[in-house]
């Protein structure tokens, strides 16, 4: 991953993290998922959503507007 990316969201639920990513993308904020879950046990580890640090403030506003808990 390039420099200047920051984690904006963490979840154990892959689908919740994917929804967050899609909401950000719909608002023209590039977002990527980083899967840190164990391949054999989905209950261990997290899914993280990363965005470029330049978009951090705008992303927080979007998440608050959409009532997404941080």
CA gap 40, 28 in Å, rounded? 34
Domain, as residue range, for 16: 5-51
Q: What is the mean pLDDT of the chain?
A: 87
What is the mean pLDDT of the segment spanning 44-48? 86
The answer to whether residue 64 sits within a structural domain is: no
The answer to whether residue 69 sits within a structural domain is: no
| Total tally of structural domains belonging to the chain | 1
The answer to whether residue 65 sits within a structural domain is: no
- Stronger pLDDT, 68 or 41, i.e. the higher one: 68
The answer to whether residue 34 sits within a structural domain is: yes
How large is the angle between the packed helices 56-65 and 14-26, nearest 10 degrees?
A: 110
The answer to whether residue 67 sits within a structural domain is: no
The answer to whether residue 45 sits within a structural domain is: yes
The answer to whether residue 58 sits within a structural domain is: no
Specify the pTM: 0.83
């Amino acid at each position: 991953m390039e420099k200047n990316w920051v984690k904006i969201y963490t979840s154990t639920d892959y689908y919740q993290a994917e929804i967050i990513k899609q909401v950000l993308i719909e608002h023209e904020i590039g977002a990527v998922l980083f899967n840190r879950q164990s391949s054999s046990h989905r209950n261990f580890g997290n899914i993280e959503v990363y965005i470029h640090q330049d978009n951090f403030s705008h992303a927080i506003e979007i998440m608050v507007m959409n009532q997404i808990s941080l």
